[in-house]
Structure 1
Amino acid sequence: MTTETTGQGPLAGIRVVEVAFGTSVVGAGLAGSLPGAMLRDFGAQVTRVRSARRPALDTGVEFARVWDRGKEIVEVDDDADPAGAAATAAALARSADVLFLTGAEEAIERRGLGYPDLARANPALVVVRTRPSYSARGALADLELLLAARTGLLTQIRCHQPGRPAFADLAIASAGAGLTATVGALAGLYERAATGRGGWAETSLADGLRALLPMIIGRVEHPSPTTTLLWKDQGPKESLAYRCADGEYIQLWFGAKGAYEEFLAYLGEPPSERGYNADLMSGAMVERGARWAAAFATRPRAAWLADLAGHNFRCEPVLRPGEALLDDHVRSTGLAVGHDDPDRGRITVLGPIARVIPTGQAGPPSTAGPAGPARAAGAPAPGGAGEAGAGRLLSGVRVLDLSAYLAGPVATAVLAELGADVVKVEPVTGDIHRNMEPMFAAGQRGKRAVALDLKAPGAAGVLAALFRDSDVVHHNARVGLAERLGYDEATVRAANPDVVYCHASGFGATGPRAKLPANDHLMQALSGVEGSQGGAGQPPTFLVWGAIDSASGWVAACGLLAGLYARRRDGGGQSVSTSLLGAGLMLKSGAFVVGAGDPADPGAGGTAATDSTAATDGTGATVIAGPALDAGQTGYGAAYRIYQAGDGGWFALAVPDAKTWGRLRDAVAAGLPAGRGSLLANLPATPPPLRAWPGERQPAEEILEAAFHEGGAAGWAARLRAAGVPAELVAGVDRSGFVANIVDDPVDRELGRTVAFDWGARGLTEQPGFALRLGPEPRPAVRVAIPGLGEHTAEVLEAAGFDAAARATLAAAGAIPVEAPSPVGTSG
């Protein structure tokens, strides 16, 4: 099995140019590389224009082997010949359909690569710009660590040393920027397929952070226990990860009904008087966790995994980045694929994380546009019930949302922000997460809500009518549940053959784990997120952020947009499949495996050493995981980490190249007290490469730690910035302060990046707005509020052909709520 899918898929024939000037794969890698990789996996032809000179920060880091596979690489010297580099990019853009641009403004706009110049040469071009982040405190370079420090994200991690910040190993902002950029490109292509005209989209690392952390960024006028738990406090304290006798860790999860009670009985624990959620929120589970830790320490992990398999509660091994590529399930589902690397030979990498397959009979062939296979302006678009012709973005597109929890709803919330009419279907008793309000709020804004008991008499007829009226049907139910409740793909297509149908599963539709429940927690374990965040030789650190859930939603949104584009261009229905597991692995997708055999060969997986060296464990397989976080959770090495100053404060340092390292040496020497210059005597002349071995301690780190203890954090950060060295004071804030840094920034408010609305009992509610700006025409007006339970049931069913009498019959059968009587003197 190979990973080069160019020429097949919903974007077959689309030409993409991906430009990244002056950026680092460590500092902002996924932001500039993920969009092209996803469009490549959708079948586009991708050309990447990158700097021939790698920044010193990236020395020894091999992420590009994975992210740039299957792309045509064009290297330019944008340092020695910036005009020539820009001219190369502009020439490629003249015959492209999509252009991604990442880099500082002096490397992009000031060299003639702004949207107006590009559009004059190619009016059909879709330009997606990932800009440097801006806030009221000024601009930030595209270095993830600086953004995490400024916003206070580093204090939202439970460090092994309580009361201090921890370096964020998960590049959440870069991944979010990459996903939002991909959505911007696909939305632009969808609109262009009807109009023939291009457009632009814009995002940033700061937008990416907002996109993937909606669960923990919010504020309400009248708090509840759950909003306090996640929007004021840092979430549950018990991580449910336990060390086994062999030193490996196992991750538990009790999300299924009755799972917690079953586990307590299994371990001989006293039953819970208040239940799982109450124990988790109150901290009662921490006391139980101490007893569980002692139990798990008595046996090796493999024995526990075998013994606990088949129970209602779930467990998974806590892996390191890249190790999941050796897992039998991952390999059997196509998430691990083989690739022939010119230097490393045959390697195993992450495969496509979203797939779009045409179904049924395609419509008439499309007419190529000025810069590729876009439909001619004004041409009628084939497709299903609600095809919107030449409307702005997704205006007129009708989406039926049968999803729940967080990952599923985020996908359709993205479509709602692009102008789609999203109808959420939930039980008459309410979505399971209405009682976990931050999670509910993170994925439900902008939708209409219908309350429907899918098991009640008459419900199947309501669903069939809604299927017929929808362009998209989306759900994230466990494999097999949709068939039992009547919204499986075969049933939906019987009512509407041309629908775009998306199943965003947990582990994928096939494979050994396909029917098992899944959640963000388990995916942090399998993907290596919590293992690598823990640091060398330390327990895993669970991030109570919901980031994998949110990322999965954005991945599904990408698949849905690709499906809508293919339907508009070529006609016929489209089947979209994504998984929570794929999204989790994407966040650590720079990792790969050497010598593991082809994933298509049964039994070719196994275990391997995890390192950035050639060491193996005898199987011949080596995981190349990337930079390693130290045991103290401070960073990857002297040039990219956080430092504590003499006043106890912390600041972040990100040195991209040798010239900046020289400025660092001079600035630190000038800032030391008289007679203390000898502290820098052994500081190397060039920045040391980032840490490759877990636990490796760099002498330069110890030298700089000692030097920085001679002054205060704010003073050092200011001095370094003045010398041209990227540095940022770590905001020492609690969760409320972190939220305030996001939603109260004056620049963000002016740009509409914060939205405010009334949310019933919670009163005035503020959240991050849509993490993408689109033009040149304004984005369609969208709903802002979170819908109440069944708030739009009557109007949606009325439009679907169910008059008042029919609705009364449905209500009498318990399929929908009983409608409140109309006030006297009004029409019914």
Structure 2
Amino acid sequence: MAQGTHFLALLGARVTRIDIEGSCLSDVHDVLWNRDKERLAAAHDPADRARQLVSHLSAVDIVMHDFLPSEARALGLDPDSLSAAYPALVHVAVGAWPAGHPHQDMPVDDALALGSAGLFDEQQPVARDGPLWLRFPFSSALAAYVAASGALARLYARNRSGKGGPVSTSLVQAGLLPMMMHWSRAENPTPSVQFGMPKDSGATLFECADGQWIHIMGAAEKSPAIAKALAEMPREVRDRHNEKYAGAVIPYLDGERGAVEAILMTRPSREWLTEFWASDVPAQPVQPMGALFKDEQALAAGYVVQRELPGVGKIRVAGAPFHLLTDTIGPDGAVPPVADVAQGAPKLPLEGVKVLDLGAFLAGPLVPMLLGDLGADVIKLEPLAGDPMRPGEWAFNGCQRSKRSISVQLKDPRGREVMERLVGWADIVHHNQRMPAADKLGFGWDRVRAINPSAIYSHVSSYGPAGPRKDWPGYDQLFQASAGWEQEGGGEGNPPMWHRFGVVDHLAALASLLVTLAALVRRDLTGKGEWVAASLLGASMAAWDSYMDEQDRLAPAPRLDSMQMGEGPAKRIARTSDGWIVMSSDDPEAPHRLARLAGDRPVDDWMAGQPADALLAMLKAGGIPATRLTLDNRDAFLSDPANRALSLSISAQHPVYGAFETIGGAWNFGPDLRLSLDLPPPLLGQHTRMILSELGLAEHAQQLLFDEQIIRETRA
């Protein structure tokens, strides 16, 4: 929650943090996420505190909190009380699980949320079987964007109706966004949907001669040195190296992974990286957290900020993970009056908003999908061959619902005319193509602005909008590597580990969603469009839970043990006699209480002999928050009536799959606004004729485009 309001502060909001006893963050997190806020200590007396809250709530647009439902009611911060007392207020609540769920009273903690939802069992540990502790706190990192984005979506609806209201989300809802790739079921699954991406699929991580690991995406043999070494390696030697990966779930590098692995061990990492970069092969080194504070590109793109704080001194922290690249506030800094946009009470937060999706893979298309979930009309424009991620249907389906699809050949002037009609139609044009390619295909910023000056132009890049690498290709894996998450996730002394959730892709997409919604709200003031941006690099750094001081030392951050079991005696997973549990306590006394519960026995041996339910009862009595660690949870989660009732899992009718079940919405907006979750991922060009008709293109003109193979439509 603190990080969510921090993002709003970075967007220009005036944020006041009310520090209630027992709700303070650690010192490090306080520096990271509360540094740009006004601070106010809550009154100790309950009556005085209530009056204090009333005085502030009557003067603000948004209030955000992470109290449990019972705590919120006691403070008068529950949705009914706030809506009744402050009809124009936008009020946002963040829980571990949604209100109304059997787990609604779970402490708002990453480990407890992810463990109970089953995500600790969705990653293969480095050196053993079973579940693991995820060092990457991605549920809270994602939830910060989700909460702030929900606030702006509700604010946008308020501009049209004059009515505020509730927004809620949870660590589980945010943490499950990446699981849309992995947790789905189809009545008639295709082989790709059936196969998915197994936990033991592996990753293209390679060790070099200097002991440094690098992560490579794309064809390593595009490097002349790799191609030459492969050609010179005797066939029997290549076969011997490749035999190591003969049983690999996914045969990377056309079955030559073992040979490439041996070749990479012959030279130091810096030489290989120079070679790959010169050959346009996406690759990055696995670095410790904080290394990017001195990175040339991170500095040039503005992702490093130097600050001096009382009691802390001069530090470097991660900067904003998004950019507003145009200034649309009026001349001389004057803010134009709010436009008259009242349209009656909408039923969807973004009702009436039109989005053109020109993206591919994941970080680009995910934003329009979420805008579609919020009620926008989203059209996905694809080339005739389709989004390159379509063959991996399990991944494609994780970021494509809530859209209609049109397929157009943009290299033909007649196809470009169709695209330009869509640009003129759209409120938001969103993509993640490299900018030189976007300019070449006719949807760069200058061209979009010329066609539609009121359109918001939203771009997700790999490295940011400025700097020497601004046009380089990139993937989630490269930024998990360079930002330190792969090293941290592997555990002490272990090789690095890629988190298969695609977390950085999702973080970058949510940063783009947030800044796009900010621009949409701001357009009500200006009537003008603007260019906004986010990147994988910026998002990977903004998730850091540390900062760097003047002596280049990182502030204390959690470290994962070598067995990937946890970060401390009372922050870890543990085996019981009938399953696993996860406990998470920052209380320095918790390890001592745990030892007293175990008596004379080693704590691990004692816990291994206890049934999970009995152990959880003892831990609760000892003041140590804990929960069951759920295993193999996909089918149970999708079928759970409680999850279905809250739209945590949903089902839609797909033209090929039949009934298609997947993860549901990331927000709840109370009784007056709903999400739009009815459209399943579209077939390629499934809605081409419908869209062209809406654009005013006559049937004979459409048929000519079909005959000339300028457009395409797929029917089930």
TM (norm. structure 1) is: 0.79
Per the alignment, residue 250 of structure 1 pairs with 214
The 1:43/1:280 distance shift into structure 2, 3 A limit, reads farther
List per-residue Cα deviations over 1:477-527 (Å, max 9, x = no partner): 013110010111111111111111111111112212212111111111122
Any conservation in 2 of the 1:464–1:495 contact (CA below 8 Å)?
A: yes
- For the Cα contact (< 8 Å) 1:259–1:313, is it kept in 2? yes
Query: SS at 2:390's partner residue?
Result: helix
Deviations 1:293-335 (A, max 9, x none): 4433343332332333211322101122222122111011101
Name the counterpart of 1:315: 283
Letter in 1 for 2:616: A
CA contact (8 A) 1:191 1:391 kept: no
Q: Secondary structure at the match of 1:728?
A: strand
Given the superposition, is the C-alpha separation of residues 504 and 555 from structure 1 closer, same or farther in structure 2, using an over 3 Å criterion?
same
Could you tell me whether the CA contact under 8 Å between 1:182 and 1:558 is conserved in 2?
A: yes
Helix, strand or coil for the counterpart of 1:705? helix
1:227 aligns with 2:177: no
Q: What is the aligned partner in structure 2 of residue 93 from structure 1?
A: 57
Q: What SS does structure 2 have at the residue aligned with 1:106?
A: helix
Aligned match of 1:729: 628
1:309 match: secondary structure: helix
Q: Equivalent of 2:13, from 28, 44, 69? A: 44
**Stretch deviating more after TM superposition (656-665 or 110-119):** 656-665
Q: In the alignment, residue 587 of structure 2 is paired with which amino acid?
A: D
Q: 1:99 to 1:162 in 2, by over 3 A?
A: same
Distance 2:71 2:80 in 1: 16
Identify if the C-alpha distance between structure 1 residues 771 and 781 changes in structure 2 by more than 3 Å, giving closer, same or farther.
Answer: closer
Q: Residues 137 and 65 of structure 1: is their aligned pair in 2 closer, same or farther, counting only changes over 3 Å?
A: closer
Return the match for 2:644 from 749, 757, 768: 749
2:600 alignment partner in structure 1: 678
1:140: which partner in 2?
Answer: 106
Distance 1:95 1:631, change over 3 A: same
The structure-2 alpha-carbon separation of the partners of 1:429 and 1:303, relative to structure 1 and needing over 3 Å to count, comes to: closer
C-alpha RMSD over aligned residues: 3.1
Q: Secondary structure at the match of 2:446?
A: helix
Q: Deviations over 1:225-278 (max 9, x none)?
A: 4323436x22622x221233333221111179x859995555446799xxxxx9
**Corresponding residue SS for 1:349:** strand
CA distance in 2, matches of 1:100, 1:403: 32
- The aligned counterpart of 1:21 is none
Range 555-564 or range 739-748, more displaced:
739-748
Q: Which secondary structure does the structure 1 equivalent of 2:307 belong to? A: strand
Kindly indicate whether residue 568 of structure 2 is the aligned counterpart of residue 637 of structure 1: yes
| 8 Å contact from structure 1 (residues 471, 500) kept in 2 | yes
The verdict on how the C-alpha distance between 1:591 and 1:195 changes in structure 2, with shifts beyond 3 A counting, is same
Q: Give the letter for the 1:438 counterpart.
A: W
Q: Hey, what does 1:654 align to over in structure 2? A: 584
Letter in 2 for 1:458: R
Q: Contact conserved, 1:176 with 1:212, CA < 8 A, in 2?
A: no
**Closer, same or farther in 2 for the Cα pair 1:50/1:138, shift >3 Å?**
closer
Q: Which amino acid aligns with 2:396?
A: F
Summarize deviations over 1:360-394 as a string: whole Å, max 9, x none: 68599655xxxxxxx48xx337xxxxx99967421
| 8 Å contact from structure 2 (residues 509, 534) kept in 1 | no
Using a 3 Å threshold, how does the CA distance of structure 1 residues 306 and 283 change in structure 2: closer, same or farther? closer
User: Secondary structure at the residue paired with 2:656?
Assistant: helix
Give 1:404's aligned amino acid: A
Give the corresponding residue for 1:236.
201
Residue 77 of structure 2 is matched in structure 1 by 113
Match of 2:294 in 1: 326
Determine the structure 1 residue equivalent to 2:398.
Answer: 442
- Equivalent-residue separation in structure 1 for 2:128 and 2:609 (angstroms): 24
CA distance in 1, matches of 2:500, 2:225: 24
Distance 2:471 2:667 in 1: 35
Matched residue count: 703
Aligned in 2, Cα 1:404/1:594: closer, same or farther, shift over 3 Å? Answer: same
SS at match of 1:622: coil
Determine helix, strand or coil for the equivalent of 2:712.
coil
Cα deviation digits, residues 719-760 of structure 1 (max 9, x gap)? 3235543122322x3xxx231243222211111221112333
SS in 2 for 1:329: helix
C-alpha distance in 2 between matches for 1:300 and 1:537: 20
Deviation for aligned residue 1:529: 1.5
Partner in structure 2 of residue 170 of structure 1: 136
**How far is the alpha carbon of 1:662 from its aligned partner?**
6.6
User: How far apart in 2 are the matches of 1:389 and 1:813?
Assistant: 45
Q: What amino acid sits opposite 2:62 in the alignment?
A: V
The structure-2 alpha-carbon separation of the partners of 1:90 and 1:280, relative to structure 1 and needing over 3 Å to count, comes to: farther
Distance 1:109 1:754 in 2: 27
Are the equivalent residues in 2 in contact too, given 1:172–1:212 (CA < 8 A)?
A: no
State the partner residue of 1:787. 682
For 2:548, give the aligned amino acid.
Answer: V
Q: 1:35 offset after TM fit, Å?
A: 1.4
AA of the residue aligned to 2:471: K
The range that moved more, 393-402 or 149-158, is: 149-158
Q: Which residue of 1 aligns with 2:243?
A: none
Equivalent position amino acid for 1:641 in 2: R
Q: What displacement does 1:771 show? A: 1.0
Maintained 8 Å contact 2:372/2:676: no
Distance in structure 2 (CA, Å) of the matches to 1:263 and 1:389: 61
Per mean C-alpha deviation after superposition, the further-off stretch among 241-250 and 280-289 is: 280-289
Secondary structure of the corresponding residue to residue 775 of structure 1: coil
Within a 5 Å distance, the mapping from 1:757-768 to structure 2 comes to 757-768=652-663
SS in 2 for 1:537: coil
1:201 aligns with 2:167: yes
In structure 1, C-alpha distance between the alignment counterparts of 2:376 and 2:31, rounded to whole Å: 37
Matches within 5 A, 1:269-418: 281-283=249-251, 288-358=256-326, 367=337, 375=338, 379-380=340-341, 392-418=348-374
> Is 2:2 the counterpart of 1:33?
yes
CA offset at residue 128 of structure 1?
0.6
Q: Taking structure 1 as reference, are residues 388 and 424 closer, same or farther at Cα in structure 2, changes over 3 Å only?
A: farther
1:551 corresponds to which letter in structure 2?
Answer: L
Q: Is the 8 A contact 2:363 2:509 kept in 1?
A: yes
Q: 3-state DSSP class of the match of 1:45?
A: coil
| 1:405-484 matches, cutoff 5 A | 405-484=361-440
Against the structure 1 CA distance between its residues 818 and 103, is the aligned structure 2 distance closer, same or farther, given a 3 Å change threshold? closer
Contact 2:204 2:216 survives alignment (8 Å): yes
* Whole-Å separation in 2 of the counterparts to 1:423 and 1:241: 36
1:622 aligns with one of 553, 556, 575: 553
Q: Percent identity?
A: 29
1:684 aligns to what? none
Deviating 4+ runs (over 6 angstroms): 269-272, 387-391
SS where residue 431 of structure 1 aligns? coil
Question: Structure 1 pair 286/781, CA: closer, same or farther in 2 (3 Å)?
Answer: closer
Task: Say whether the 8 Å CA contact 2:320–2:542 is kept in structure 1.
Answer: no
Alignment match, 1:682: none
| Residues 186, 661 of structure 2: 8 Å contact kept | yes
Cross-structure match for 1:485: 441
Distance 1:452 1:280 in 2: 37
Q: Any idea what the Cα deviations from partners look like across 1:40-63, whole Å, max 9, x if unmatched?
A: 1111111112345577xx76x612
- Hey, what does 1:700 align to over in structure 2? none
| Equivalent pair of 1:229/1:235 in contact (CA under 8 Å) | no
Q: Deviation at 1:284?
A: 6.0
The code of the aligned residue for 2:626 comes to A
1:447–1:783 contact (8 Å) kept in structure 2: no
Offset at residue 292 of structure 1 (A): 3.7
Contact 2:302 2:319 in 1 (8 A): yes
Superposition deviation, residue 147 in structure 1: 2.1
- Partner of 1:641, secondary structure, is strand
Alignment-mate amino acid for residue 544 of structure 1? R
Rate the CA distance shift 1:502–1:129 in 2: closer, same or farther, 3 A: same
After superposition, give the CA deviation of every residue in 1:528-553 in whole Å (9 maximum; x if it has no partner): 21110001121111111122212222
Q: Work out the CA distance in 2 between the residues paired with 1:88 and 1:654.
A: 32
